[in-house]
């Protein structure tokens, strides 16, 4: 999945990207995290590229890797994409994102070392400004399309029905935007949503809020001026609010494991750090889950949309498996871990045979049977 970062100047967005890259590098270091890293499909990109590819931490993958000692371990991944600014020129880039995080600063409220461009540190005001600009991108598109459709003259009756239907959907969307809400709250059915697929409407995707703190605010339990008001302003608009400390998390990633843990405890920093929690929150907000496959060749997490059936999940592994699907042998990860091995899970009757229409659950460990 691709998560875009949007912010006003001096909010720490570039530092957050650097921290994401540093933690991605950390995940590939031998000995970190207790699981094999050779061949892990989560090697980070250089942060200077504006895109960082990082694995999503998953203790289930790590546990399976310890059991099987495979030649390759592949976690689900997330692409962090730095969006330089908001505006029509970036609509194409925004259209390719799965989710967006608005980054606001609460750090350095006295501006002793990092001045705010507007001479004040106010996360609530920054969020509201970003949110209004974000909605305005969609409002402009929807309003413009409505005006063009209303001006359409002399069209066949059948086509007029299609235009009237699209107008009805767009007018509802406009009402939602004018209430200050994203289009993800428009409650469109699948056919109505399909009418808008050709537009680059950005607020259909989940939006998260990342609040960038400093060391002192972390030591105070994550408290900062305007916290309660920001939570109220974000309610019903964003999928999650994640506190993080980008500069500190960047520094932590460069320490050895023992020093990192001690430093984190001293500063009351919750692990996993905010960078990783933000990535996980975006993954969840997009309705994504992972099923797992395990063997001597590879242990892997496969990302699918919640509600995916077994045959479609098999297609993620290989199209031939979906085409020749016979059945899926499924065990829930928690059951497998409690049993200690696949053989013991089978002895206890925890391994199930499921058909093509079985709805895959998060954490299912699956072996597909097929014939082509």
Q: Are residues 173 and 191 in the same domain?
A: yes
Q: Are residues 21 and 148 in the same domain?
A: no
Between CA 362 and CA 353 the distance in angstroms is 17
For the CA atoms of the chain, what is the radius of gyration? 23
Between CA 224 and CA 254 the distance in angstroms is 26
Residues in the chain: 372
Domain boundary among the residues 177, 203, 229 is at: 203
**359, 305 in Cβ contact below 8 A?**
no
Domain boundary among the residues 157, 186, 203 is at: 203
Q: Are residues 363 and 340 in the same domain?
A: yes
Q: Are residues 329 and 197 in the same domain?
A: no
Task: Decide if 124 is inside a domain.
Answer: no
The CATH number of residue 160's host domain is: 1.10.150.300
Answer left, alpha or beta for residue 26, where phi above 0 means left and psi between -120 and 50 means alpha: alpha
pLDDT of residue 49: 55
CA–CA distance from 195 to each of 149, 167, 192, 198, 200 (Å)? 13, 10, 5, 7, 12
Bridge pairing between strands 325-332 and 364-370: antiparallel
pLDDT of residue 10: 93
**Number of independent structural domains in the chain:** 3
Maximum distance among all alpha carbons in the chain?
Answer: 74
Task: Decide if 264 is inside a domain.
Answer: yes
The backbone torsions φ and ψ at residue 38, rounded to the nearest 5 degrees and listed phi first, read -60, 125
Whether the link from the prior residue into 272 is cis, omega within 30° of 0, is yes
**104, 209 in Cβ contact below 8 A?**
yes
Domain that holds residue 280: 2-59+68-116+205-285
For each of the chain's 372 residues, which pLDDT tens digit applies?
899 999 999 999 999 999 998 888 876 644 444 333 444 444 444 454 578 888 887 899 999 999 999 999 999 989 999 887 665 556 666 777 899 999 999 999 988 889 888 899 999 999 999 999 889 989 998 999 999 888 876 677 667 888 888 899 999 999 999 999 999 888 888 888 888 877 878 888 899 999 999 988 888 888 899 999 999 999 989 999 999 999 999 998 888 888 888 888 887 777 778 898 999 999 999 999 999 999 999 999 999 999 999 999 999 999 999 999 999 999 999 999 999 999 999 999 999 999 999 999 999 999 999 998
Between CA 370 and CA 277 the distance in angstroms is 37
Task: Decide if 290 is inside a domain.
Answer: no
Q: Are residues 81 and 25 in the same domain?
A: yes
**CB count, 10 Å around CB of 336?**
24
pTM above 0.75, yes or no: yes
Q: Are residues 9 and 80 in the same domain?
A: yes
Q: Are residues 209 and 355 in the same domain?
A: no
The CATH number of residue 333's host domain is: 3.10.20.30
**301, 70 in Cβ contact below 8 A?**
no
Task: Decide if 300 is inside a domain.
Answer: no
pLDDT of residue 42: 41
Q: Are residues 189 and 217 in the same domain?
A: no
The backbone torsions φ and ψ at residue 52, rounded to the nearest 5 degrees and listed phi first, read -125, 130
């Amino acid at each position: 999945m691709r998560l875009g970062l949007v912010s006003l100047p001096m909010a720490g967005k570039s530092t957050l990207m650097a921290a994401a890259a540093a933690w991605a590098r950390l995940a590939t270091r031998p000995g970190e995290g207790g699981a094999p890293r050779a061949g892990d499909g989560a090697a980070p990109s250089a942060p200077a590229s504006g895109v960082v590819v990082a694995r999503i931490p998953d203790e289930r993958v790590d546990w399976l890797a310890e059991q099987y000692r495979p030649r390759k371990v592949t976690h689900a991944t997330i692409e962090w994409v730095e969006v330089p600014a908001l505006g029509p020129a970036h609509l194409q880039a925004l259209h390719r994102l799965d989710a967006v995080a608005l980054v606001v600063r609460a750090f350095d409220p006295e501006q002793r070392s990092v001045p705010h461009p507007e001479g004040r540190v106010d996360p609530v005001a920054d969020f509201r400004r970003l949110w209004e600009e974000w909605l305005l991108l969609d409002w402009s598109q929807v309003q413009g399309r409505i005006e063009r459709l209303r001006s359409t003259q002399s069209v066949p009756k059948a086509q007029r029905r299609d235009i009237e239907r699209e107008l009805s959907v767009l007018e509802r969307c406009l009402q939602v935007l004018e209430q200050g809400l994203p289009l993800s709250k428009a409650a469109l059915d699948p056919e109505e949503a399909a009418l808008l697929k050709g537009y680059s409407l950005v607020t259909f995707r989940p939006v998260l809020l990342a609040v960038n703190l400093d060391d002192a605010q972390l030591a105070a339990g994550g408290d900062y001026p305007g916290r309660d008001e920001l939570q109220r302003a974000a309610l019903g608009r964003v999928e999650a609010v994640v506190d993080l400390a980008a500069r500190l998390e960047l520094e932590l990633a460069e320490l050895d494991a023992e020093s990192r843990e001690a430093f984190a405890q001293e500063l009351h920093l919750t692990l996993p750090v905010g960078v990783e929690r933000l990535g996980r929150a975006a993954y969840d907000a997009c309705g994504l889950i992972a099923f797992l496959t395990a063997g001597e060749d590879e242990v892997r997490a496969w990302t699918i949309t919640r509600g995916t059936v077994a045959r479609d999940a098999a297609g993620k592994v290989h199209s031939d498996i979906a085409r020749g699907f016979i059945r899926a042998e499924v065990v829930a990860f928690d059951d497998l871990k409690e049993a200690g091995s696949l053989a013991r899970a089978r002895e206890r009757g925890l391994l199930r045979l499921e058909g093509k229409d079985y709805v895959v659950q998060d954490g299912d460990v699956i072996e597909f049977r097929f014939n082509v």
